[in-house]
Chains A and B, each alone.
Chain A
Amino acid sequence: MKDIIDRIKTKYTISEVVEQRKNLSFVTVSKEQAISIITFLRDIEGFKHLVLLTAADWIENDKFQLTYLLNNPTEKIDLGVRVFISRENASMESAHHLWEQVATYQRELKEMFGIDFPDSPGVDKPFILEGWEDIPPYRRDFDTKQYSEDTYFPRPGRESNDPAEYMKKKLYPNE
């Protein structure tokens, strides 16, 4: 694993390396170099399989974190490529030319986080939410409880009594 990261380092800049396990590491790279590094990993280093593409919302740093998790099936190792992108007008280069199925992940991220992937096929089509009008629901500034209460006719809770108060009222109504 270490030699792979060293080989990336000769060509690109890596800001952080986290070794989770012997066969799983994460590298943090810049937005501009990300797709180039992923292409290098796929074509030269044998990370042929994309396990997933996911996002996390770091609202405190005003950043979205994208993670491309890649798998090398012959060596049986995983490498996660982390990219931090700005939260405002969030947009990232599309990777659908490397793996076709990335387009589906990107479509989901567009809907759930509002991260745009220009030129990705079908990225603007609704994925799960049909006709969503609010801010994307996976963003952390979206208040799901408030939204549910405003929208879905919440059932009022059961009426309950404090037993002591109730018995006092029942037994000694004049006091």
Chain B
Amino acid sequence: MKEDFKKRTVISPDGKPIEIDPVKDYFSDAKPKVYKPAHPVIEKFANWARANSLWVLGFGTGCGAIEMRPLMTPRFDAYRYGIQWRPTPRQSSVFVISGYLSVKTLKRVVRTYEQMQNPKFVIALGSCTINGGMYWDSYNTINRLDHYLPVDVYVAGCMPRPESLLTGFEELKKIIKEGRGEGANKYAENFDWYKANQKKIIKDWDMPDYNW
């Protein structure tokens, strides 16, 4: 556990010592909940709306992030499909895992994913997220992303071109419109399994278990 997260006594502005426990005081330790879908008509409308405004988190985890730059600039211009990039996880609904994930990055990815609001979707880009790709025998990169996060769409390739990523977004739209984009609920249902897998890999777990 990091020094910042340890229980300690501090002097408050009025001169009294108070005990603080950062993990409990600053973060939620409640498990995520499964959200039941609303009335079918409302849900269908909501899904239509969600599918047409995909906000992508601007977090490039691996080499695939280079494909997102041409996608957001005029050459491929993903904005015409209602896809735009956001700077913070609180505003975004799509997480593009772009390529390989080292253990160090996975820790940040898990934390970021949990900070995103429901409903949230994951696009796994490149072969590395499927079976490890060219880093399949590396000591430091994970092999299968779906053991740590629920994945909605895989885009295979090394690296996939921006066109493939656009197709992936179109596929994701289809999935959301059909009401199958239930990644966040799947994560909540199998929370213990996902956590166990994450903790098996991330040896120095120095953050709260669920930290949004």
Contacts and interface: CB of A to CB of B under 8 A. Distances in A.
Contact of B201 (A152, A154, A155): A152
B204 A142 contact: no
A137 interface: yes
Contacts of A126: 204
Given A130-B104, A155-B132, A148 B204 contact: no
A147 B137 CA distance: 8
Interface string A125-138: 01011111100010
Given A152-B144, A153-B147, A131 B202 contact: yes
Nearest to B197: A153
Given A130-B107, A137-B139, A155 B204 contact: no
B107 A148 contact: no
Contacts of B130: 155
B203 interface: yes
Contacts of B197: 153
B138 interface: yes
A130 B204 contact: yes
Contact of A148 (B102, B104, B136, B203): B136
Contact size range, A: 10 to 19
A145 interface: yes
B110 to A, nearest CB: 13
Contacts of A145: 137
A128 B104 contact: yes
B33 to A, nearest CB: 27
Contacts of A128: 102, 104, 140
A151 interface: yes
Contacts of A137: 139-140
Contact of B143 (A130, A142, A153): A153
Residue from B136, B140, B142, B147 whose CB has the most chain A CB atoms within 10 Å: B140
A36 interface: no
Contact of B103 (A129, A144, A149): A129
A153 B200 CA distance: 10
Contacts of A133: 203
B202 A152 contact: no
A152 B140 CA distance: 9
B104 A155 contact: no
Contacts of A153: 142-144, 147, 197
Interface of B: 102-104, 107, 130-132, 136-144, 147, 197, 200-204
Of all A-B residue pairs in the complex, the 7 with the closest CB atoms, nearest first, are A131-B204, A131-B203, A155-B131, A145-B137, A152-B143, A144-B139, A137-B139
Given A131-B202, A148-B136, A154-B136, 16 more contacts: A128-B104, A128-B140, A130-B202, A144-B137, A144-B138, A147-B139, A149-B137, A151-B200, A152-B132, A152-B144, A153-B144, A153-B197, A154-B143, A154-B144, A155-B132, A155-B143
Interface of A: 126, 128-133, 137, 142, 144-145, 147-149, 151-155
19 contacts: A128-B140, A130-B204, A131-B203, A131-B204, A132-B203, A133-B203, A137-B140, A142-B139, A147-B139, A148-B136, A148-B138, A152-B132, A152-B141, A153-B143, A153-B147, A153-B197, A154-B143, A155-B132, A155-B144
